A = this chain, B = another copy of it.
Amino acid sequence: MREVSISRIDRQDKYQRILRAGISVFARRGVFRATISEIAREAGVADGTIYLYFKNKDDILARFFEGRTEEIFARFRKAIDEADTARDKLFRLISSHMEAFQEDREMAVVFQAETRKIHAMACHVNDISARYRDLIAEIIEDGQAEGIIRKDLYIALVKRFILGAVDEVVNTWVLAEGKYDLVSMAEPLVDLFLRGIGSASEE
């Protein structure tokens, strides 16, 4: 019993170490330029050991996002459900997003950089974006029911509008090497989403 437990912890530990080392190297070098040897070195295991835990190099990336996705979307869900108004929901979604990326900068770097390509990833990333857009759509609908969001919206476009803006703000933060507080961007961004940049008189 004891041994099994230790063994499992060992396995888990090694799995996690490889995962972490992988993301770290991916962040530093890019997925393509990263080598198994470097990941192994950073994880403190032999090259071959990686293949006991992962199918191949891409699998490290895929599994990482697989794991994180659930965790992060659970946070998003919770954040949204704790809010009363659609405005607050939107704010909390975006805040959570920024928090999560700020907490794990290596993940953020890899996500922002690799997300638009990599065939192995493609499906996962698309899933992630799609799920994110679903949350936005849900909030929009709530807001429309509440009457705080316009009803004459092309939802498909609005989803991209919001996702794109948030994504770009995160990306800028990543490229700036995280030297300022990302989460503080959430509030002014939500304001822009709701009120736009036009002055009230504009109509």
Interface residues, chain A, with chain B CB atoms under 8 Å away? 30-32, 58-59, 61-62, 65-66, 69, 73, 76-77, 80, 85-87, 89-91, 93-95, 97-99, 101-102, 105, 108-109, 111-128, 131-132, 135-136, 138-140, 142-144, 146-151, 153-154, 157-158, 160-175, 178, 181-183, 185-190, 192-203
- DSSP class of A's interface residues: helix, strand, loop or mixed? helix
Contacts A115-B113, A120-B114, A198-B148 hold; do A87 and B143 have CB atoms under 8 A apart? yes
Residue contact A121 to B62, C-beta cutoff 8 Å: yes
Contact of A189 among B80, B157, B181 (CB under 8 A): B157
- Additional A-B contacts beyond A98-B186, A114-B117 (17; CB < 8 A): A62-B120, A65-B121, A69-B128, A86-B144, A87-B148, A99-B183, A108-B173, A111-B121, A112-B167, A112-B171, A113-B117, A114-B116, A114-B121, A147-B201, A160-B169, A193-B197, A196-B197
Question: What are 16 A-B interface contacts by the 8 Å CB criterion?
Answer: A90-B194, A94-B166, A94-B190, A98-B185, A101-B173, A102-B178, A111-B117, A113-B175, A116-B116, A116-B171, A147-B199, A147-B201, A149-B199, A151-B199, A158-B197, A163-B168
**How many copies of this chain does one complex carry?**
4
B residues near A144, Cβ cutoff 8 Å: 86
